[in-house]
């Protein structure tokens, strides 16, 4: 199966437009937070209200301990994300200690990673993409890849993803000699 590729900016915008038109407040908050946080699916669905909000206000920065690797990872929340998550908190009347994205069956438990994957697949199908070609890691990889392409700063991306080894980040982003040459070509002396 290999790596699932990151989504393109136009694909992200298409998803956002479709979920907004459909008034899917949760889906907009979830997709935005997935992009901003760059968290694995298991960490994203496990978020609690107090991980991202304080006194009902969504914070511009948050940090969580990653389940898979253990280290704390910090992430920013854009204004667009803060608004979407804020609307979601109001609609569901979510409070400190509760799952940010609660299950419909048991509000005390979060949605599952499988449910998140099915939601993403439905978003992709709506915009005409093959839902088998992309997955939850595509959203994790999207902003990290865009950050790398824009800045060339591998160390920054490593920190954002919470990788302990730079080698992991290189492999994760799929960086090769062509990528390095493109960055070098943009630097003039």
Model pLDDT for residues 102-136, shown as the tens digit of each residue: 999 999 999 999 999 999 999 999 999 988 888 89
Same domain for 122 and 151, yes or no, is no
Same domain for 32 and 90, yes or no, is yes
* 3-state secondary structure at position 15: helix
Q: Which of 147, 126, 99, 140 is nearest to 16 (CA)?
A: 126
Distance of CA 19 to the CA centre of its chain: 16
Same domain for 94 and 44, yes or no, is yes
For residue 172, what are the domain limits? Answer: 146-185
Same domain for 101 and 157, yes or no, is no
Same domain for 29 and 89, yes or no, is yes
Whether 4 maps to a domain, the answer reads no
Give 156 or 178, the one with higher predicted confidence: 156
Cite the beta strand spans of the chain per DSSP E. Answer: 53-54, 57-58, 61-65, 72-76
Whether 2 maps to a domain, the answer reads no
Residues whose CB falls within 8 Å of the CB of residue 90, separated by 6 or more in sequence, listed in order: none
Residue 121's pLDDT is what? 95
Domain tally, the chain: 2
How far is residue 160's CA from residue 58's CA, in Å, rounded to a whole number? 19
């Amino acid at each position: 199966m290999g790596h699932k590729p990151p989504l393109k900016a136009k694909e992200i915008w298409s998803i956002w437009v479709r979920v907004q038109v459909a008034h899917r407040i949760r889906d907009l908050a979830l997709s935005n937070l997935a992009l901003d946080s760059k968290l694995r699916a298991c960490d994203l669905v496990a978020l609690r209200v107090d991980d991202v909000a304080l006194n009902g206000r969504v914070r511009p920065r948050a940090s969580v301990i990653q389940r898979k690797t253990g280290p704390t990872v910090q992430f920013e929340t854009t204004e667009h994300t803060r608004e979407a998550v804020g609307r979601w908190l109001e609609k569901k009347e979510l409070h400190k200690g509760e799952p940010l994205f609660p299950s419909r069956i048991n509000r005390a438990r979060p949605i599952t990673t499988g449910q998140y994957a099915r939601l993403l697949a439905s978003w992709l199908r709506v915009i005409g993409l093959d839902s088998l070609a992309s997955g939850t890691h595509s959203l994790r990889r999207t902003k990290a890849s865009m950050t790398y392409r824009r800045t060339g700063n591998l160390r920054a991306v490593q920190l954002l993803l919470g990788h302990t080894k730079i080698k992991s980040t290189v492999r994760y982003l799929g960086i090769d000699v062509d990528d390095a040459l493109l960055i070098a070509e943009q630097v003039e002396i």
